[in-house]
Chains A and B, each alone.
Chain A
Amino acid sequence: MNVATAPSYRAQLIGSLVAAVLIVAIAVIAVTLAIGPGLDATELRERQELQEERREQRQERREDLQGDSGGPGG
């Protein structure tokens, strides 16, 4: 009768740990590819500053509009 035997304890340990390393590598590669080429810190900061600037401008415009229409006139 041909009975399949499990690998030795040591081989099982090494195999399961190597599997973990492979899982990490695949996860890093897959997610990095999904994210795509990243922006560097300077680009990100510039983009953030631009967004904040626009937000402030919008806020100012809204306040100006409220000031124009909210008053008793004149």
Chain B
Amino acid sequence: MEDFVDGVTKGNVSQVKTVLASVVLALAMYQVALMAVAYGKLRVPFLKPKAATFTHRAVGDAAVAVGVFVAFLCYSYFGIGDGIEHARDEETGRATIHVVSGSLFVVAVLAKVVVVRWWRSLGRFLPALGLTMFSLFSVAWLTSAGNYLWGG
């Protein structure tokens, strides 16, 4: 699997992950803004709640697909235990936070999909679930891509 990931990214696994994860984070921010419009918390003259909801769904599907691909790159190349074990001593904490937040993000995505598609009676928790997803992904991004870009 490592060879496949190496081949797909031409050996630039961290760089590709950083770009893709940053795209997902930017879209996640847009998603929050779209839902603020959809729930009427933010009123703009050029976008109504119905269109905002549709775009949220479409952009969300694309962002989740990219996010899952990033998770696949992460898991297949670095692993879970290996990622923490092979981190430098001073980076073990960061790697652990990244693994925990990343894994919880995947769980939150699954939970949101289940609620949206099948468990509609829990729909009142969707805003909380969405914000949880956004927070978890932000933490996962800060402890990997953010650290790579600004942490050196």
Contacts and interface: CB of A to CB of B under 8 A. Distances in A.
A34 to B, nearest CB: 5
A13 B106 CA distance: 28
B1 interface: no
Interface class of chain B by DSSP: helix
B52 interface: yes
Nearest to B22: A31
Interface of A: 4, 6-7, 9, 12-13, 15-17, 19-20, 23-24, 26-28, 30-32, 34-35, 38-42, 44-45
Given A15-B46, A27-B27, A40-B10, 17 more contacts: A13-B55, A17-B59, A20-B27, A23-B26, A26-B26, A28-B19, A31-B18, A31-B23, A32-B19, A35-B15, A35-B149, A38-B12, A39-B11, A40-B12, A41-B6, A41-B11, A44-B11
